[in-house]
Structure 1
Amino acid sequence: MLRLSRLTDYATAALGWMAERPERIVSVADIAQALHLEAATVAKVLRALVQAGVVESFRGATGGYRLSRPPAQINLVTIVEALEGPLGMTDCAAGAACEHALHCGVSAPWQRISAVVAATLSRMSLADLARPVAQRRHKEIA
């Protein structure tokens, strides 16, 4: 079964929540409370997202985190790779050296499949991911 890690799932949830308030600087505690997650987990996810340039951090009493750019300009492949590492369905498709590469007949198809997945994630933005949540919340309020 192909599945993203729990940390990537938490990252997309946190980013979706942040995308609803893209200009606001939010704290780890804000996100943890809103999403019912442990603060340490949120902090770990945010560190990876800062390193990838998806969010920016601000120090001080009024510090915290906010998206580094509008949600429509943050693609999902960047988010996934920030938490999972290079995208690839197999190690060789992710660019890792393989001692069996010369004798393996399935490396090229897995590389093509990985490229399709990466292209799909590249075309989808955080705004696309967050839009259904925002629409659902709007309907609940109305």
Structure 2
Amino acid sequence: MRLSNLADYAVVTMSAAARHCGGGRTSAAELAAETGLPVPTVQKVVSKLSAAGLLRSVRGAGGGLQLARPAAAITLADIVEAVEGPIALTACIDGDECAVDHTCSVKPHWPAVNAALRGALAGIPLTQLSKAAPREPNPSGISA
């Protein structure tokens, strides 16, 4: 399984927005500059994240974008679902037709698999994603 580019960009954008926590506001243009993503892409992502209640747009002087709730209360699952919809590894869960639906012995198990995947993603808060990644040890021992 691989996230779509848009879901990946949403995670990157939300991570950047989380670094503006504490009442700070930002703009789509600033988020694009910080992330290296094109402004139209960030605007599209911001629209989806706002519709899902993860970002809030404040109008007027001093306005801009801010997290709609604390970063610790937003999870990777929330962000992915804002862009991709409900987490489901197979189409048959949504009621889509399947060639083997009438004989499939696995279909009853997909809800548990999907719940486990969602649970894993829900266990990763935005606060964790917005931190700087730990530096990997340098095996040569030579400092950069």
TM over 0.5: yes
1:97 counterpart letter in structure 2: G
Q: Deviations over 1:94-114 (max 9, x none)?
A: xx1144544211212332211
Instruction: Report % sequence identity.
Output: 38
Q: Deviations 1:77-128 (Å, cap 9, x if unpaired)?
A: 11110000111000123xx114454421121233221110011112221112
- C-alpha displacement of 1:36: 1.2
Aligned to 1:125: 125
Q: Distance in 2 between matches of 1:53 and 1:114?
A: 23
* Cα 1:55/1:134, change in 2 over 3 Å: farther
Residue 58 of structure 1: how far off its partner (Å): 1.4
Of stretches 53-62 and 72-81 in structure 1, the one that deviates more from structure 2 is: 53-62
1:1-142 matches, within 5 Å, as 2-22=1-21, 23-93=23-93, 96-100=94-98, 101-131=101-131, 133=132
- 1:77 maps to amino acid: A
> Aligned in 2, Cα 1:5/1:110: closer, same or farther, shift over 3 Å?
same
Matching residue's letter, 2:83 = L
- DSSP 3-state at the match of 1:4: coil
Q: Which has the higher helix share?
A: 1
- Uncovered stretches (5+) of structure 2, i.e. residues with no partner: 136-144
Unaligned segments of structure 1, at least 5 residues: 137-142
1:4 is matched by which residue type in structure 2? L
Query: What SS does the aligned partner of 2:89 have?
Result: coil
Q: Could you state the TM-score of these two structures normalised by the residue count of structure 1?
A: 0.84
Alpha-carbon distance between aligned partners in 2 of 1:98 and 1:39, rounded to the nearest angstrom: 35
Deviates further, 113-122 or 100-109: 100-109
The alignment's C-alpha RMSD in Å is 1.7
**TM-score (ref. length: structure 2):** 0.83
Work out the CA distance in 1 between the residues paired with 2:25 and 2:97: 48
Task: After superposition, give the CA deviation of every residue in 1:1-60 in whole Å (9 maximum; x if it has no partner).
Answer: x10011111111111111112121101110111111111100000010011111101123
* Partner AA of 1:5 in structure 2: S
**Deviation by residue 1:118-139 (Cα, 9 ceiling, x = unmatched):** 11112221112223x2666xxx
Paired letter, 1:21: H
Larger radius of gyration: 2
Q: Is the 1:71–1:127 contact (alpha carbons within 8 Å) kept by the matching residues of 2? A: yes
C-alpha spacing 1:28/1:99, structure 2 compared with 1 (3 Å): closer
Aligned length: 132
